[in-house]
Chain A
């Protein structure tokens, strides 16, 4: 059962199209697994659309300073071509010999090569959003990330399996947004696949784990 959802503010920015692609995809991935948020998004979109197109906001329709209506319309309607919906493609992605269906929201995202460290595997999603990095992160059973601290934000959408940290257990569909400075130590007993977005490398905090700081850069 999904326990963690995006905040209303995030959903609102999502509907407005104001979030970066990485976070927009994160919300879309969650909504595909969460009918409650899906419904909220649909209602909000209807409302925002009404707002955007209400009549009072209209300029004088024959304002030819803005548009040469006739010529644009005839340019557009000159062609009889229609756009077909792209054929549904079902891609898969492999981690440690297990194939996972790639979420449709990622169909046109270029996925980098998978890199492995111990029980962790990472495939970078090449969204090119400067300091925001997006990955698919796979934990083999028993895999975990040693205690580490973030600055900035870290979003995890659990696509398959489950993991736990000091706050409890997270299951498939959970949308976990951590913000500010925080310390945690996720571990996945049975293995899991996550979509992660972060804007700052992780820093390992405890004793010998400090030696692991290269892993922080690996996951980020």
Chain B
């Protein structure tokens, strides 16, 4: 039988059942990372270094042609782990996934610097290391906010309502609204301004 070796031996659906790093190991790594974040613990960092650095070294060697660059990738990744540990959130993923992201980003930026001579460090914008995944709470609050806002809009005088709904809910431009409602642009602008200040008061943003 011929076994075709793909780069990824596990298929997506089995990700959970066939984890290569066992749970206790993950818990331990998570714990060290949290200790670095919370108490700048050098012992915990040494554990992390000994676990990750040789593996990062191996990966970096496959991406860079010279040893010095591979070495730089290891140092830069581990120093980012030290300086950014507080951005790690164990509720959103394992320490391994987080360190992988930090490493992949460092390598990406270094390679880009070599190839395109650009030091724009785009990686953190492409793969954020503190990704704010939308939790159910956020969605709930958004709903509440929206509900409050919609309620506020409904209580505005009809003329202002029209403008606010067109501008925010239908995303028309002020110019489009002026044409659509057959009103001078200045009127649209002043109605929008009036409506917004009323809404702000209602939503309690006038306290600061």
Residues of A within 8 A of B (CB): 12, 15-17, 21, 24-25, 28, 40, 42-55, 57-59, 61, 63, 66-67, 69, 72-73, 76-77, 79-83, 85-86, 97-98, 104-110, 127-130
Q: Which residues of B sit under 8 angstroms from A129, Cβ to Cβ?
A: 115-116
Residues of B within 8 Å of A43, CB to CB, are 12, 15
Contacts A73-B49, A82-B83 given; indicate if A48 touches B8 (C-beta within 8 A): yes
B8 contacts A83, C-beta separation under 8 Å = no
Q: B8–A80 contact, CB under 8 A?
A: no
- Cα–Cα distance between A165 and B178 once the two chains are bound (Å): 32
CA A52 to CA B50, docked complex, whole Å? 15
Interchain CB contact under 8 A, A45 and B122: no
Identify whether the interface residues of A are mostly helix, strand, loop, or mixed: helix
In the assembly, what is the distance between CA of A115 and CA of B192, in Å? 32
Q: Please count how many residues in chain B sit with their CB below 8 Å of the partner chain's CB atoms.
A: 63
Determine the chain B residues whose CB is within 8 A of the CB of A73 once the complex forms. Answer: 42, 45-46, 49
Check if B78 sits within 8 Å of A80, measured CB to CB.
no
Do the beta carbons of A85 and B116 come within 8 Å of each other? no
| A63 touching B54 in the complex, CB below 8 Å, given contacts A48-B8, A82-B83 | yes
Please classify the interface of chain B as helix (H, G, I), strand (E, B), loop, or mixed, using the class held by over half of its residues.
Answer: helix
The residues of A that contact B86 with a CB separation of less than 8 Å are 82
Decide if B180 is an interface residue (CB 8 Å cutoff). Answer: no
Contacts of A97 in B (CB 8 A): 173, 175
| B104 to A, closest residue via Cβ | A17
Sorted from nearest, which 5 A-B pairs have the closest CB atoms?
A: A49-B100, A54-B20, A59-B54, A17-B104, A128-B116
Assess whether B126 is in contact with A44, with CB atoms less than 8 Å apart. no
Point out the residues of chain A lying under 8 angstroms from B9, CB to CB: 51
B118 near A46 (CB under 8 angstroms)?
A: no
| Apart from A47-B10, A61-B51, 9 more pairs, CB < 8 Å | A17-B107, A28-B127, A49-B96, A50-B20, A51-B20, A58-B51, A63-B54, A79-B83, A83-B84
Most chain B Cβ neighbours within 10 Å, of A40, A49, A72, A130: A49
- Chain A residues with Cβ under 8 A from B94's Cβ? 46, 49-50
Tell me the smallest distance from the CB of B49 to a CB of chain A, in Å: 5
Interface residues of B in 74-110 (CB under 8 A from A): 74-75, 78-80, 82-87, 93-94, 96-97, 99-101, 103-105, 107-108
The stretch from B55-63, B150-158, B200-208 touching chain A is B55-63
Any A CB within 8 A of the CB of B21: yes
Q: Write 12 A-B pairs (CB below 8 A) sorted by A numbering.
A: A44-B12, A45-B101, A49-B96, A49-B97, A51-B9, A51-B20, A52-B59, A52-B100, A59-B57, A77-B42, A97-B175, A108-B125
Is B137 close to A, CB under 8 A?
no
The reply to whether A45 and B97 form a contact with Cβ atoms under 8 Å apart is: yes
Rounded to whole angstroms, the CA-CA distance of A176 and B130 in the bound complex is 29
